[in-house]
Amino acid sequence: MKTQKSLRVLVVDDQESIRELIGRLLEQMGHTVIGKASNGVQAIELAEALLPDIVLMDIEMPQMDGLEATKVIMKKTPRPVVLLTGHEEPEMVIRAGQAGAGAYLMKPPSALEIERTMIIAAARFADLMELRRLNLELKDALENIKVLNGLLPICASCKSIRNDKGYWKAVEEYITENTEVHFSHSLCPACIDKLYPDYKKKNVD
C-alpha cells in the first residue's frame, strides 16, 4: 500500500518488535523511517535533530512516557504526533489530546489504521499551527495599537494635557506619545484671519 505523499517518520516504542513491525508497515506504504527511539528522552532529541514529518509514539515507556515527551516536542519542535497504546481508555484519549497529540492508535496497528491516523494527525497539526500563527499576528497587532480612552485632564486655557505621572504636556506631544498619530502643523482660516489680517486683505485686493 503506497500513498501519494511519502512521509519522514520517527518511530518511538520501548519494544523493539513493535518498532520493527511499524517500520516495515511504513516502508510498505512508501514512507521513510528516519529514526527510532525506545523512550521519551530519545524521542525529544531525535525530533529536534531530524525534524520528522510525523512521530509515532508509544505512551508507556521508561525514563519519560509518550505523553510527557509529546508535550515537550510540541513546545520545543512542534511535530504531528500519533500516540500508540495497548490500552483503550476514555481518559487516555483526553490526556493524549491535552498533550498535543493529533491522533490515537491502538497496538498492534494495521497499515490502514496507521495511514488513517497519520492523515488525521497531520491535518490537526496544520490547523493548530495556523491557529498559533493567527494568535501571534493578533498579539503583535494589539501590542502595536495604542488607544486613548477615559478622561483626560486638559487645561482650560492653554489646552495642555496632564499625563499619568502628573506632568503637563502640549496636546500634540501627548497624543504622539500615546497613539500612532503624528502631527503636521498648519493654520486654519479663522487663525489666519486673526493672526495675519493683512494677508487676506492683500489677496482680496
Q: How many CB atoms lie within 10 A of CB 190?
A: 8
pLDDT at site 14: 93
Percent of the chain with pLDDT over 90: 42
Q: Are 112 and 31 members of one domain?
A: yes
| 110 and 24 fall within a common domain | yes
pLDDT on residue 149: 63
Could you give the number of structural domains in the chain? 2
Average pLDDT over residues 47-68: 94
Asked if residue 150 belongs to a domain, the reply is no
Cell numbers at 62, concatenated: 521508561
Q: Would you give the end-to-end CA distance of the chain in angstroms?
A: 94
- Residue keyed to cell 481518559: 91
Each residue's pLDDT tens digit, 63-103:
999 999 999 999 999 999 999 988 777 777 788 888 888 88
Domain at 18, CATH number = 3.40.50.2300
Residue 68 sits in the same domain as residue 39: yes
Question: Can you tell me whether residue 3 is helix, strand or coil?
Answer: coil
Q: Which domain holds residue 51?
A: 8-141
Do 18 and 100 reside in the same domain of the chain?
yes
pTM comes to 0.65
- DSSP assignment of 36-58 equals EESSHHHHHHHHHHH--SEEEEE
Answer yes or no: do 197 and 118 share one domain: no
Answer positive or negative: Cα dihedral of 78, 84, 87, 93: positive
More confident residue, 119 or 137: 119
Coil, helix or strand for 189?
A: helix
- pLDDT tens, residue by residue, 132-163: 888 888 887 776 655 556 677 888 888 888 88
